[in-house]
């Protein structure tokens, strides 16, 4: 018996499937671009953060354990742009750890005859 409706029940899914594939492809392309940008911009940021933390640890360690100044006074020796580097000290180990946010930390330890030496990078 004909009802006058020539559409089959699967016809709407055939027209929706290409639209969903288009959205999926667009989403995957977008995620790929975001991942690419993340890698491109994160690598230099991590390198700058490592350099800043290493410099901060070395300078602050020398200031503190060679120069005998207070740790808060040692931060004055930092270069402009190093405001995000924070310092902490371990007086028993005679070391200073510098951190750049949650990204990187670096420790320098005072060794007699050597001065302040950075810990090996991982």
Contacts for 67 with CB less than 8 Å, ≥ 6 apart: 74
Binning pLDDT at 50, 70 and 90, where does residue 104 land?
confident
- pLDDT given for residue 47 in this prediction: 83
Kindly report, residue by residue over 62-92, the tens digit of the pLDDT. 999 999 999 989 888 888 888 889 999 999 9
Residue-by-residue DSSP string for 67-84: S---HHHHGGGSPTT-TT
Supply the pTM of this predicted model. 0.65
pLDDT in tens, 11-54: 555 454 555 688 888 888 988 888 777 766 677 777 888 888 99
Integer Rg of the chain from CA: 29
């Amino acid at each position: 018996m004909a009802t006058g409706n020539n559409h089959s029940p699967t016809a709407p899914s055939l027209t929706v499937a290409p639209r969903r594939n288009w959205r999926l492809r667009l989403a995957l392309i977008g995620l790929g671009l975001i991942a690419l940008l993340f890698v491109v911009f994160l690598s230099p940021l991590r390198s700058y953060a490592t350099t800043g933390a290493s410099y901060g640890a070395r300078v602050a360690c020398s200031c503190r354990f060679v120069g005998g100044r207070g740790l808060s006074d040692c931060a004055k020796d930092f270069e402009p742009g190093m405001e995000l580097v924070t310092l902490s000290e371990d007086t028993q180990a005679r070391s200073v750890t510098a951190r750049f946010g949650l990204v990187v930390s670096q420790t320098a330890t005072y060794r007699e005859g050597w001065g302040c030496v950075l810990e090996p990078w991982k």
